[in-house]
Structure 1
């Protein structure tokens, strides 16, 4: 007598819940990690807006203008003047060491008409930490411009030119959905859904993969009466519901408690969240049933879900990126969820606009689940194959353990694929999301109510930029705003009636600029490009007035120059920092897998010499991988590299030693080696943001900033970016190197204790 399908579903559901109730590590993934990561991300972004960025001023003019400029900077909430070096040579060490993010250089004679190139007022900012550096530079530029304004008017009056004739059109910027340019809303809406998506994927892989026996599902199929469709559905349901609930909790925190609100339909937003988790569960089931190998499934999960944020269009848009990046972005379910979330949570788009991504997510969920069922039946018909997980090392020989470590890595596919192949694969895979470096030809709607030569010139100037494409010209502001909210365009430029005539007669009307606040990276780039296009078009109209009074020579020229990332490219800023995370996580996972395999197979404890041999071998692998990135990969991808060779060669071994020791210590806790991938993969994204590259450490709560330094990647990101890009010397990164050395010694002692003393290895779950 067979069990009804509904009975199998219920039986599988109850069996999975019962397993979760008694499995410590699965409960950690299902309950503890979402809570901890939400607390970390929430605390990290709590301040929301970048404020009090440390900057410096080199004042060689010592004039009323330069003193006024410094007062304006000190009054700005965005920056904090922490140093006033006497010259640029004294300022560069502050920039290289990361003590300042931006530097205003006011040359001698600036107040006496020295505003022209090459004696322009220059604002240097660190492009290696682009987000904070560019915001600091903008704040300093605004302060300089404000200080110069009275000077220009005084000289105009002295020349007998009416001040009104000098007015240029103001640009009124309106940010839809995120008017305060809050990084809490932008990054919070990007990071946590991506992390929950990755946690969900790992949990589902472990849930289904746990039933594999030698690549077969035969035993599980027998317990479920062969009804694997119902059994798979019952097994995956607890994970889908749990992570949908955690996603709803995060939305409640961000939009409710923190007050950002849901601009569109909460029901559609929650439906999209559920569809994302269901699609993730379907993909996990498909990977396990297709490969019959949990390690391979985890590796594939790390590739597709671990990089989902990078390929999601949430940061650098892929509209005109490489074909692979565009196709891969469209394949990934997180891309479609993020679009739906931004439309409904941030922009208040029409519900109809979000139906497409919702249907795509549901189709992925149904399609992958439907494909996994016949594959599961196929796995159930296969006989289990014997597995050899043994990983023995000579217990009393440094050299034997050193050589045996490499032999073990090549023997076990999970180790070789994680420690060796993943390092190479990620070197070329991850940068594909940032090949374009800057936004290219993003669609702009132009509301032209002037229909003048100037408005047409303004459209031409926009189309001449690399970033903009004035693809739509309309007379209806409401239609343009609807297009912006529904994602049909990325910005709107509103040119009012009588715009040209008012500009010529000295009563300039403003240009309205509307940007999509859900995507701050592209909004910032488009704001600069649109503002520049408006200024260029207006300058042609005002040229007769300017030339008549020769004020072009007397107006201040403030030039911004990015340092250490001269193209100001997003990839040149993001990938070098992410590389430290890639290097850490591949080595960390490999070391944890190594220790987990030894624990799982009951290997003998190691003597001190053997442990040091194991540690040295893993450290050497980490060194080779790091130098491969900083030498060949950065050269191949044309990223800033090898600024200080001695510092790099000193920092790399200390970093590799700290990471490998941490991996061995963590891996010794796991009851089975797959836990390394299940537990550690999802930490990659939060660890990157805790590294201070995208969101600076000084804006985080001090206890969190100190805790972040327990991860080697935090100090490594700071040190490697400064050494590679800025050419910082050892003394300028000494705090980071000292932290890494302390971590290496501390984690090494813990790992030696764990691997060398079996009595201290209590099981967890």
Structure 2
């Protein structure tokens, strides 16, 4: 019992020491509180309307008829599209697009109305700048739809002129009606699509770097032996005492973003908020353990921070929220399991979006648990580093 009490006292002393270090260095406050809060607000307000609206486009109307003006007015009525300028020719519109004044332009050739009435198949053209992926994709969709609607309206007028009824005309123009139902995010809200992974991803990246820094700075400042002595020379007590205050702060920040996303912004959360809070706790612990492995593998502050930042940034690419993992190279598909954010993303899809029971996500919870076990492979090396390593600037 006496030995157990000594361990508890040592753990408490290390925790008190770490709390003093946290409040004495503004860097910790910035990385653990200010930066996450800023990212939460920044990402959720970046596209607060859900989708970009009123993207500027131009129009080149060579026909200048009632039909062409109607087409341009209808295009301007689309939510994502705003016709902000009319150009005399394609050259002027192309220069404006290259200068970044517009994201695309709609070209109506001369004689469109007359050719359509005489069934000579006039051509509508539209150009979008896909260097801006989201803007180009949304405008391409709107302009293509406008072209199809214009073609359908012309064909319908011809059919009416030949004596067809409205039902006959519509069955000819649209023999198969497509009924679409986007699941889980029916609003096609980009903020819902992006923020639920970007926000925890940023928190994970900060946990990586703060964990590496908190241990690496002990080595750099030559205080590692003092830290280890205070823990009765137990590397487990030393790590637990140092990182438990971090865990509390980061978990509070994780609870905050869950309440903010699902409670305040009312993002889809079909399983309830508690499973997502549990997943957040698992992500925080897994990220801290990964940070221990990083500094234990490369026990130099600059190398450890480089490792943490590289691994954290790569997590956004291979987690699957921006590009599906199943479409990646098979090697990258296999490597994707090495990133905690990938498993958190899959839990989010199962729990928040699909509303499945937690049992369906057990492989991902087990993966995060395995991340928590990784420090056992480096603790002995890390302890030797704390005792013998001499930092060289």
Q: Same fold (TM over 0.5)?
A: yes
**Does the 8 A contact of 1:215 with 1:379 survive in 2?**
no
Q: Secondary structure of 2:132's partner?
A: helix
* 1:496-535 equivalent positions in 2, closer than 5 A: none
2:323 is matched with which residue?
Answer: 316
**Does the 8 A contact of 2:219 with 2:391 survive in 1?**
no
Unaligned 5+ residue runs, structure 1?
Answer: 390-765
| Among candidates 180, 186, 192, match of residue 193 of structure 2 | 186
Shift of 1:242: 1.6
Do the aligned partners of residues 187 and 117 (structure 1) sit closer, same or farther apart at CA in structure 2, a change above 3 Å counting?
farther
2:21 is matched with which residue?
Answer: 19
State TM-score, norm by structure 1.
Answer: 0.48
**Does the 8 A contact of 2:270 with 2:352 survive in 1?**
yes
- Superposed CA RMSD in Å reads 2.4
Shift of 1:362: 1.6
**Does the 8 A contact of 2:19 with 2:245 survive in 1?**
yes
Counterpart-to-counterpart distance in 1, 2:252 and 2:216: 23
2:99 is matched with which residue?
Answer: 97
Counterpart-to-counterpart distance in 1, 2:120 and 2:13: 77
* Residues 224-233 or 1-10, more deviating: 1-10
| Among candidates 367, 377, 382, match of residue 376 of structure 1 | 382
Counterpart-to-counterpart distance in 2, 1:67 and 1:338: 47
Counterpart-to-counterpart distance in 1, 2:175 and 2:113: 22
Query: Residue deviations 1:150-204, cap 9 Å, x none?
Result: 3211212334553133323122221111111111111211221111111111111
Shift of 1:43: 2.5
**Does the 8 A contact of 1:336 with 1:360 survive in 2?**
yes
Counterpart-to-counterpart distance in 2, 1:23 and 1:372: 27
Q: Secondary structure of 1:28's partner?
A: helix
2:369 is matched with which residue?
Answer: 362
Runs (4 or more) in structure 1 with deviation over 6 Å come to 114-118
The reply to whether residue 5 of structure 1 matches residue 4 of structure 2 is: no
Shift of 1:87: 1.1
| Among candidates 141, 146, 152, match of residue 143 of structure 1 | 146
Shift of 1:290: 2.3
Q: Secondary structure of 1:25's partner?
A: helix
Counterpart-to-counterpart distance in 1, 2:391 and 2:287: 30
2:390 is matched with which residue?
Answer: 385
* 1:216-231 equivalent positions in 2, closer than 5 A: 217-231=224-238
Unaligned 5+ residue runs, structure 2?
Answer: none
* Residues 253-262 or 87-96, more deviating: 253-262
* Residues 101-110 or 35-44, more deviating: 35-44
1:545 is matched with which residue?
Answer: none
| Among candidates 284, 294, 303, match of residue 310 of structure 2 | 303
* 1:128-167 equivalent positions in 2, closer than 5 A: 128-160=131-163, 162-163=168-169, 164-167=171-174
**Does the 8 A contact of 1:276 with 1:337 survive in 2?**
yes
The reply to whether residue 87 of structure 1 matches residue 94 of structure 2 is: no
| Among candidates 43, 57, 61, match of residue 59 of structure 2 | 57
Q: Secondary structure of 1:172's partner?
A: coil
Q: Secondary structure of 1:263's partner?
A: coil
2:358 is matched with which residue?
Answer: 351
Shift of 1:219: 3.8
* 1:255-270 equivalent positions in 2, closer than 5 A: 255-270=262-277
**Does the 8 A contact of 1:215 with 1:292 survive in 2?**
no
The reply to whether residue 47 of structure 1 matches residue 54 of structure 2 is: no
Do the aligned partners of residues 247 and 62 (structure 1) sit closer, same or farther apart at CA in structure 2, a change above 3 Å counting?
same
2:281 is matched with which residue?
Answer: 274
Question: Which structure dedicates a bigger proportion of its chain to helix?
Answer: 2
Q: Secondary structure of 1:105's partner?
A: strand
**Does the 8 A contact of 2:258 with 2:277 survive in 1?**
no
| Count of residue pairs brought into register by the alignment | 386
Counterpart-to-counterpart distance in 1, 2:327 and 2:49: 34
